[in-house]
Amino acid sequence: MESTRRGEALREEMELHVAEKAAELQADGMTPECARAEARRRFGNVGLKHEESREIWMTRFLSELGQDVRSGFRTMTANKAFSALAVLLLALGIGANTAVYSFMESILLRSLPVADPESLVVLNWHSRPPQEGSKEWVHVIHGVQGILWPGDNGALVSGMFPYGAFETLREENPVFSTLFGYFNGLTRNLAVRGQAASASAEYVTGEYFRGLAVSPAAGRLIDSEDDRPGAAPVAVISFATSQNRFGGPPNAIGQSVLVDNIPFTVIGVAPPEFFGVDPAAAPDLYLPLHANVLGDGGGAARMYGDGNFYWIEMMGRLRPGVSMAQAQAVLVPRFHQWVATTAKTDGERAKLPALILNPGAAGLGSLRRQYSKPLYVLLTMVGLILAITCANIANMLLARAAARRREMAIRLSLGAGRFRVVRQLLTESVMLASLGGALGVLFAIWAVRSLTFLFSKGQENFTLHAEVNWNVLGVTAALSVVCGLLFGLAPAIQSTRPDVMPELKNGRGGGPRRRAQHVLVVAQIAMSFLILVAAGLFVRTLNKLNSVQLGYARENILLFSLNARQAGHRDPEITTFYADLRKRFESIPGVSSATLSQSSIISAGHAGKTYRGTMKIGAVTIEGARVMTAGSRFLTTMQIPILAGREIDDRDQPGSTPVAVISERLARTYLGNENPVGRRITLVDDKRDVEIVGVSANLRNGGLKNEEASAMTVFVPVSQFSPDLVTYALRTAGDPLRYVKSVHEIVREADSHIPVKNVVTQAAEIDRTISRELTFAKLCTVFAVLALLTACVGLYGTMSYSVTRQTGEIGIRMALGAQRGAVVWMVLRRVLLLAAVGLAISVPAAMSASRLVKSLLFKTQPNDPGTMALAGVVLLSAAILAGFVPARRASRIDPLAALRHE
């Protein structure tokens, strides 16, 4: 910069001086070395002199800055209304950006809190889709425990591997110093000193903590000795768990705890900041991988030997000096060789998974996959809002520059450099922006809290914790300065244009400025339209979701889950236990009926233990139906009409005739007009038949967004399907949450080892499946209103200003007989022209940009013509409204007064 350039020039000058002096001394007969030394000695301390000179310019710079700041402050206080409005708009704009950026920082940019996170890599694989080219599932994956997610071009991507792959890659690995594995242990019942509560568990291999380079807060961590079949069952707990359940890390060490009724010894406590490898989770409990055999039995033991069962996830730490690409080059053939041995058919061989390494510094990508797109969309929107704000303030400054033209002319004529005046104006705008930024940070802190609340809406264990940290504050500060320069530069340059001066002297014209103002107004209109369209699309999506027919009651239902099996209850006693509990809940005063099922209906598609295999009626396979296990009085509690026969009730016991209730569409589709009652459905995989005893009305079984969610449902008695986790539903009078206390008392009485989980109303349970859409619709509506208001203020300001400028012209027109209507039209025509130009620019932009949010919409086309038209109408109406006030003022101009002024 300026001072660096100056500093270098000065140094060069001083060097030259010493050199010339030395040359002179040498000419007087000194040796070159002596001459140089003597010259330096005489000159004195070069560095010190340099410092002194620098001080001279810095003092100057600071004193000028002081002047500018003082003068800026005077200008700001002289125009209180303008300054307050500008600071407020900026605070909203910068604050919104800061808030969204805090989320991006915490989700997309933050590293795991472990040593050297950059050397961690996540192992994934991708392959062609299993159902490509055939209806049947053809793939080396015969079973999974975890998630597969779609990659590009329909490819299958996953982070899960068979245990054999882990063992193969772990042996003599030349590229990793450690390779470690883990898998989600889901929710477990953790009993400490007889007190049960649910805890999330992570199964980890013996290399896990060593590979992550984590040191314990107390005790020791799981190592290879703990992770082998038959080892003593040990557990590491999270720091928070040690505090909540033991009263501090030291107290936990050596304690015996029950995990799903199996005794484990706590050997260590993880450090406070550690949350595992997935920012979306925060395990309370870390168990050795092989300990899953203790809890999950024979099925778990088989997982270790099955090369076609995908379940373990892996991360590696690169050896020093090895790049991720090198590691990939080494491991891909090794994995390929191994996985080829697990393929049984040519079809499977044709689409073998291929290994890919991904950076692991930020941990697993589930949060990134889930939130990165919504966050980019939000960031774009708040970015647009800030741009509109800047354009608006630039516009106001341009108008104000006219008012200050005398001040500028005086300054320039008194000999102030143009640069100096521009600098002063820029200082003023950066001051405005900084004030806005400071206020914006306060706004952002509030916004981050409310956004976290909106995003988390009822989700338990919500781990998305954004905060306004130093990194974020730095970005905000930079953003404020950039904004200040952005909206200050054009007006500053414009108002100090030397050639404008004489023109300004007689007070008319200002052509270039008006053009600049028009450009800014058009830009604001165009950007507002984009935000309006986005808001329209998201609100429409929400409406579509809210208008989905559920077919069951949404209000006045309390849901909560219990898992008696994890507390040691077994068949067949567990079904009586659940049935007795149901009766007790039903006896709570104010509860009209109670029932239980595998899960809530909205999550029945993917949660809970149920039958998921093939079903047949006679020889016909039933396609697209779901089985849901339900307890007595399910249809009554959920207010699903019973169309024929009976619903599942207390007659249906583990030993009695297996029965089913089917939904109307299933009956119509597969049995036509026959009476379904008495017919049988074969559950092929379970090798048993169930007898249809009733028909229910259709209901939506599964999520609102799920296209596959079907109206075809088979209800079977939960008592006949060996339940583990069940969800109770209570139909209540008044607010369902009033009954939570009674529920807790009843469960504690029945068995104090069973924690009550996921207590939520049916309405909230449904809403949390669409929390993203709710959030988007709300936020975007706020954004759209904000953008529209800002743009209207800009339009109003510009039109008022130009009406004032044209007072003379309008006066002449009116004196010559122009009607008031014609004058109004003259002004409005310009407003409409500006709006039309803005729309002409942004309609194509909206058409192409909205395609990017397609995946966030539901039953709504990205370029939905209705939404576009509505946004256009709203924008035009707002523009006309903003233009009408100045237009009316123009029509009230007294021709005589106007001409006299002239």
Partner 1 sequence: MGRKAQKNDSLPGSLDMLILRTLSLRDVHGYGIVQFIQQSSDNELLVEEGSLYPALQRLELNGWIDGVWGVTSNHRRARIYKITAAGRKQLAVETRKYAKLTLAIARVMGAE
Shortest Å, Cβ 23 to partner 1: 8
Q: Specify the stretch interacting with partner 1 by CB under 8 A; choose among 40-48, 196-204, 250-258, 350-358.
A: 40-48
Handedness of CA 599, 600, 606, 612 (dihedral sign): positive
Q: Which is nearer to partner 1, 57 or 462 (CB)?
A: 57
Shortest Å, Cβ 64 to partner 1: 10
Q: Which is nearer to partner 1, 56 or 109 (CB)?
A: 56
Whose tokens are 């009554």? That residue is 636
Q: Specify the stretch interacting with partner 1 by CB under 8 A; choose among 15-23, 70-78, 576-584, 757-765.
A: 15-23
Give counts: helices (H), strands (E), the chain: 28, 27
Shortest Å, Cβ 25 to partner 1: 12
* Inter-CA distances, 816 with 559, 810, 819, 886, Å: 77, 10, 9, 21
Shortest Å, Cβ 879 to partner 1: 51
Q: Specify the stretch interacting with partner 1 by CB under 8 A; choose among 44-52, 74-82, 389-397, 875-883.
A: 44-52
888 belongs to the binding site for partner 1 (CB under 8 A)? no
Q: Which is nearer to partner 1, 49 or 70 (CB)?
A: 49
Shortest Å, Cβ 40 to partner 1: 10
Q: Which is nearer to partner 1, 46 or 818 (CB)?
A: 46
Shortest Å, Cβ 278 to partner 1: 59
Distance in angstroms (rounded) separating the CA atoms of residues 52 and 65:
20
372 belongs to the binding site for partner 1 (CB under 8 A)? no
User: Residue 110, Cα to own-chain centre: how many angstroms?
Assistant: 14
685 belongs to the binding site for partner 1 (CB under 8 A)? no
231 belongs to the binding site for partner 1 (CB under 8 A)? no
Shortest Å, Cβ 60 to partner 1: 5
Within 253-361, residue ranges assigned H as helices are 292-296, 298-305, 324-340, 346-350
Shortest Å, Cβ 419 to partner 1: 14
Q: Specify the stretch interacting with partner 1 by CB under 8 A; choose among 12-20, 256-264, 279-287, 790-798.
A: 12-20
859 belongs to the binding site for partner 1 (CB under 8 A)? no
Within 139-179, residue ranges assigned H as helices are 163-170
- Specify whether the CB–CB gap between 99 and 444 falls below 8 A: yes
Q: Is 831 helix (H, G, I), strand (E, B) or coil?
A: helix
Q: Specify the stretch interacting with partner 1 by CB under 8 A; choose among 46-54, 213-221, 370-378, 813-821.
A: 46-54
555 belongs to the binding site for partner 1 (CB under 8 A)? no
Going by C-beta distance under 8 Å and a sequence separation of 6 or more, which residues neighbour residue 73? 431
- Specify whether the CB–CB gap between 216 and 271 falls below 8 A: yes
Q: Specify the stretch interacting with partner 1 by CB under 8 A; choose among 48-56, 515-523, 714-722, 862-870.
A: 48-56
Q: Of 26, 37, 38, 46, which lies in the binding site for partner 1, with binding defined by CB under 8 A?
A: 46
Shortest Å, Cβ 41 to partner 1: 10
- Specify whether the CB–CB gap between 310 and 160 falls below 8 A: yes
Q: Of 20, 273, 580, 902, which lies in the binding site for partner 1, with binding defined by CB under 8 A?
A: 20
Distance in angstroms (rounded) separating the CA atoms of residues 211 and 222:
11
Helix, strand, coil percentages (3-state) for the chain, rounded to 5, are: 55, 15, 30
Closest C-alpha to 180, from 301, 317, 35, 291: 317
Instruction: Check residue 247 and report its DSSP letter.
Output: S
Shortest Å, Cβ 418 to partner 1: 16
Number of residues that bind partner 1 (CB under 8 A): 24
Q: Is 693 helix (H, G, I), strand (E, B) or coil?
A: strand
Q: Which is nearer to partner 1, 60 or 688 (CB)?
A: 60
Q: Which is nearer to partner 1, 50 or 668 (CB)?
A: 50
Shortest Å, Cβ 53 to partner 1: 4
Q: Is 300 helix (H, G, I), strand (E, B) or coil?
A: helix
Q: Which is nearer to partner 1, 10 or 486 (CB)?
A: 10
Q: Which is nearer to partner 1, 50 or 514 (CB)?
A: 50
Q: Specify the stretch interacting with partner 1 by CB under 8 A; choose among 36-44, 296-304, 393-401, 823-831.
A: 36-44
Shortest Å, Cβ 380 to partner 1: 46
Distance in angstroms (rounded) separating the CA atoms of residues 749 and 672:
49
273 belongs to the binding site for partner 1 (CB under 8 A)? no
Shortest Å, Cβ 468 to partner 1: 41
Backbone angles phi, psi at 226, to 5 degrees: -80, -20
52 belongs to the binding site for partner 1 (CB under 8 A)? yes
Q: Of 32, 34, 49, 572, which lies in the binding site for partner 1, with binding defined by CB under 8 A?
A: 49
Closest C-alpha to 222, from 201, 240, 197: 201
Q: Which string of DSSP letters, residue by residue, matches 722-789?
A: --SEEEEEEEESS-GGGGHHHHHHHHHHH-TT---EEEEEHHHHHHHTTHHHHHHHHHHHHHHHHHHH
Q: Of 2, 4, 27, 44, which lies in the binding site for partner 1, with binding defined by CB under 8 A?
A: 44
Shortest Å, Cβ 42 to partner 1: 6
Q: Specify the stretch interacting with partner 1 by CB under 8 A; choose among 45-53, 217-225, 516-524, 820-828.
A: 45-53
8 belongs to the binding site for partner 1 (CB under 8 A)? no
Q: Of 2, 27, 28, 48, which lies in the binding site for partner 1, with binding defined by CB under 8 A?
A: 48
- Specify whether the CB–CB gap between 795 and 94 falls below 8 A: no
Q: Which is nearer to partner 1, 9 or 881 (CB)?
A: 9
Q: Which is nearer to partner 1, 68 or 284 (CB)?
A: 68
Q: Which is nearer to partner 1, 13 or 33 (CB)?
A: 13
Q: Which is nearer to partner 1, 67 or 621 (CB)?
A: 67
16 belongs to the binding site for partner 1 (CB under 8 A)? yes
Shortest Å, Cβ 56 to partner 1: 5
Closest C-alpha to 520, from 275, 795, 895, 112: 795
Q: Which is nearer to partner 1, 16 or 65 (CB)?
A: 16
CB hemisphere CA count around 389 (13 angstroms): 31
Q: Which is nearer to partner 1, 16 or 84 (CB)?
A: 16
Q: Of 32, 42, 215, 674, which lies in the binding site for partner 1, with binding defined by CB under 8 A?
A: 42
Q: Is 689 helix (H, G, I), strand (E, B) or coil?
A: strand
Distance in angstroms (rounded) separating the CA atoms of residues 124 and 315:
9
- Specify whether the CB–CB gap between 901 and 808 falls below 8 A: yes
Q: Specify the stretch interacting with partner 1 by CB under 8 A; choose among 51-59, 182-190, 268-276, 616-624.
A: 51-59
* Inter-CA distances, 484 with 83, 326, 480, Å: 13, 46, 6
Q: Is 195 helix (H, G, I), strand (E, B) or coil?
A: strand
Q: Which is nearer to partner 1, 21 or 170 (CB)?
A: 21
Strand stretches in 447-597, DSSP E = 557-563, 591-597
Q: Of 3, 8, 13, 656, which lies in the binding site for partner 1, with binding defined by CB under 8 A?
A: 13
Site string for partner 1, 53-82 (x = CB under 8 A): x-xxx--x----------------------
Distance from first CA to last CA of the chain, Å, rounded?
49
- Specify whether the CB–CB gap between 256 and 273 falls below 8 A: no
Handedness of CA 819, 820, 823, 829 (dihedral sign): negative
CB hemisphere CA count around 17 (13 angstroms): 12
3 belongs to the binding site for partner 1 (CB under 8 A)? no
| Interacting residue ranges for partner 1, rule: CB under 8 A | 9-10, 12-14, 16-17, 19-21, 42-46, 48-50, 52-53, 55-57, 60
